[in-house]
Structure 1
Amino acid sequence: MRRPILVNSCSLDSFEGLHHAIQGSHVEVMQLGRGKFRGSLSHVGIGDFSLSIGSFSVGVRTQRVPTDDKLVVGMLLNAEDRVTHWSFDMRPADVLIMPPSTEHDGIFRGASAYAAIRLDLAEVTSLFKGEPRLSDPAAWLTKNHYRADTSISVAATRRLPLIISRLAQHQGALSDAAADFWKRSIVDAVTGTIMHALPPDSRGPLPSATQLVGKVDDYLETTGLRPVHISEICAHLNVTRRTLHRAFFDVLGLGPITFLRHKRLCAIHSVLRESNPGSVTVSEVAIQHGFIELGRFSHYYHSLFEEHPSETLGRRGAQANRESKPSGRALRFASL
């Protein structure tokens, strides 16, 4: 069943526009700060799953209506003044868990920006399979707050707006496989703070590193050229990310995320090598394979292959031109 990605963005000139601050939820909003309200709101929808990002220029109070039966996981992206949710003081990249059918009260004392994902509680079983402390729906039934580590906070708050910006440009052209990859990437970006905050898992002896890497290879063999997110592999093999990281460093000397990036780069190289410049663009192929920033993608690509993506794509066109032109020898015979 096809699940297209739908992206909508709009500018806001009043606090009333934040009533749908989280797609699918109704939020009561009251302006607290003095001044002309200015803001923006973006929604990404993939089936019943959604990502919402909003920003506003003055302080507001938000209250979520408890009739919403979906799980909401929110992240503060930035704030000029104090932000509190329930009794939790929030800092940028902090994550808040809002269980289904739960009232929520948030106070933003100044200009702020946030992100929130909304999903069915039953989905956490498949999205976090391999992470036993997160794959149990019961783990998400309590209001909770996770403090962001300073080492990941900047990257976390920057990644989500970039994802929305890139998906807005290519939403109609993305395959089902790409849509699932980006859904997992969004969940990963929002919940990375939670993963980082959890203590090491000590469920028993680790599986053989070589055997585990081999199982990853076997699984990737079945997926073809489509992008595969690390959470998908953890779910398929029922292992935690920490286990996977240790295994890959032991066997290959690099982490699984770097390994998967190289696999995606190789897949892109194969697609570009076999494509005509007039039929595809580098940007289209990059987003289908899970790359947001073209500049960073080009850097990764050139570092691995010592050529630019456009050079790989242009080679097929140059070859076609050469093959369409008769050689000098053929021209001489033709003139006789």
Structure 2
Amino acid sequence: MVQSLLVDSRKLDGFEGLHQAVHGSHVDVMQLGRGRLRGTLSHIGIGDFSFSIGTFNIGMRTQRISSDDKLIIGMLLAAERRVAHWSFDMQLNDVLVIPPLLEHDGVFHGASAYAAMRFDLDQVSSLFGGEARLSDPDTWRRRGHFRADLATGAMASRRLVRIMSHLGAHRDGLTPATADFWKRSIVECMAANVVSSLPPDDTGRLPSARRLIRRVEEYLDQAGTRPVHVSEICAAFTVSRRTLHRAFQEVFGLGPVTFLRHKRLCTIHSILRESRPGSTTVAAVAMQQGFYELGRFSQYYSMMFGERPSQTLGVTSFPLLDDGRAQADSVLSER
């Protein structure tokens, strides 16, 4: 059965719109500040997994009753004034864990923005696969607060907003074939902030690098043209990201994220060469392969193949949909 897919965004006109602040979960909301509430609320739904981003211009009191059996993990994206959840004072990009069936109490003292993902606890081992401390469901059964690293937190926040923005603008990029990739990309941003607040874990052993790489390449061959996220590989082979990175560096001299990006670029090159101009667009193919920053994608592609993707397709121009300025994302992409 094909999982349901949803991309939705709307403007808020009144605090009542925040009752669905996290898609699929009801939240009781009371306005604290004076004035007319304005804001936006955006959702991505992939089966039972949802991702939401909300913004509002006035202080709020939020309460969630203990009737929801889903795990909610949230991140504070922006705050004009103090934000507190339970007894936790939140700083920018901090991560909050709301376990299933637990009442939640939050106070936003001014204009704020947040991101939140909601899913079944039994998905944890798959979505956080390879990171033993996060793939254990017991880790998420109690409320928690993870203080974000300054650099990692800012990067994760920007990437979450960009994913939501680009999928909102290019809804055809969220297809059954790419749904798992986008879901893992969202989870990775949250996980990066959590991992950065934990002590280093150097207990993982390194299996034979070439044997592991051979198994990974067989897995990728079976996936065909579907984009595969690095966390999916970690979960499939029960290896940490650190172990996988060491194996790829030993065999290819590249990290797994770079290797997977090159593989996706090669897939795009083949698709564009086999397509007729007018039958598809560069943007559509790029989105289907998990590239949501099209300017950066064009840079990667040109560096890889010595030509613009539009030249491969046989058309004369490719309008960039963002400014393509490269961000220093090595913290997230090659950890």
- The answer to whether TM tops 0.5 is yes
Within 2, Cα distance between the matches of 1:195 and 1:308? Answer: 37
Letter in 1 for 2:145: H
> C-alpha distance in 2, partners of 1:301/1:219?
24
1:81-120 correspondence runs (5 A): 81-120=81-120
1:124 Cα deviation from its structure 2 partner = 0.7
Q: Distance in 1 between matches of 2:74 and 2:174?
A: 26
2:127 alignment counterpart? 127
Amino acid at match of 2:304: L
Hey, what does 1:185 align to over in structure 2? Answer: 185
On the 8 A contact 2:178/2:288 being kept in 1, the answer is: yes
Counterpart of 2:212? 212
Report how far residue 15 of structure 1 moved: 1.1
**Shift in Å, 1:24:** 1.1
Contact 1:41 1:53 in 2 (8 A): yes
- For residue 221 of structure 1, what is the aligned residue in structure 2? 221
User: Deviation at 1:109?
Assistant: 1.1
Partners of 1:126 and 1:85 in 2: how far apart? 28
SS in 2 for 1:34: coil
**Amino acid aligned to 1:166:** H
Query: CA–CA distance in 1 between the matches of 2:309 and 2:172?
Result: 23
Q: Report the alpha carbon displacement of residue 45 of structure 1 after superposing the two structures with TM.
A: 0.8
- Mapped partners of 1:306, 1:13: distance in 2: 49
Q: CA deviation at 1:172?
A: 4.4
Matched residues in 1 for 2:42 and 2:273: separation? 36
Query: What is the RMSD of the two structures over their aligned residues, measured on CA atoms?
Result: 1.6
Q: CA deviation at 1:209?
A: 2.4
CA distance in 2, matches of 1:209, 1:137: 29
Q: Distance in 2 between matches of 1:256 and 1:223?
A: 16
Instruction: State the shift of 1:2 in Å.
Output: 1.2
What is the DSSP-based 3-state SS (H/G/I as helix, E as strand, rest coil) of the residue aligned with 2:116? strand
Match of residue 234 from structure 1: 234
Q: After TM superposition, give the deviation of residue 120 of structure 1 in Å.
A: 0.7
Which amino acid is 1:286 matched to?
A
Write out aligned runs for 1:5-20 (5 A). 5-20=5-20
Q: 1:68 matched to which residue of 2?
A: 68
Contact 1:5 1:172 in 2 (8 A): no
The offset of 1:85, in angstroms, is 0.9
Shift in CA distance, 55/174, structure 1 to aligned 2, threshold 3 Å: closer
Report how many residues are paired. 316
Partner of 2:332: none
Distance 1:147 1:262 in 2: 33
* Mapped partners of 1:143, 1:18: distance in 2: 22
> Unaligned stretches of 5+ in structure 2?
317-335
Q: 1:126 is paired with a residue of what secondary structure?
A: helix
Q: String of CA shifts for 1:66-90, please: whole Å, max 9, x gaps.
A: 1111100001111111111111111
TM-score normalised by structure 2 residue count: 0.90
Mark the structure with the bigger radius of gyration: 1
Q: Is the contact between residue 72 and residue 97 of structure 1 (CA under 8 Å) also seen in structure 2?
A: yes
Distance 1:235 1:57, change over 3 A: same
Amino acid at match of 2:32: L
C-alpha distance in structure 2 between counterparts of 1:307 and 1:91, whole Å:
44
Alpha-carbon distance between aligned partners in 1 of 2:174 and 2:9, rounded to the nearest angstrom = 18
Contact 1:72 1:99 (8 Å CA) reproduced: yes
CA 1:195/1:86 → structure 2, altered by over 3 Å: closer, same or farther?
same
The separation in 2 between residues aligned to 1:266 and 1:44, in whole angstroms, is 28
Q: 1:211 to 1:196 in 2, by over 3 A?
A: farther
Instruction: Work out whether 1:198 is the aligned partner of 2:174.
Output: no
Distance in structure 1 (CA, Å) of the matches to 2:173 and 2:82: 41
- Uncovered stretches (5+) of structure 1, i.e. residues with no partner: 317-336
Q: Distance in 2 between matches of 1:172 and 1:299?
A: 22
Identity over the aligned pairs, expressed in percent? 61
CA distance in 2, matches of 1:96, 1:266: 38
How big is each residue's C-alpha offset from its partner over 1:304-336, in whole Å with a ceiling of 9 and x where there is no partner? 1111110000179xxxxxxxxxxxxxxxxxxxx
Give the AA of the match of 1:45: G
C-alpha displacement at 1:170, in angstroms? Answer: 3.5
TM-score normalised by structure 1 residue count: 0.90
SS at match of 1:263: helix
- The Cα of 1:116 is off from its aligned counterpart by 0.4
Q: What is the correspondence of 1:231-270 to structure 2 with a 5 Å cutoff?
A: 231-270=231-270
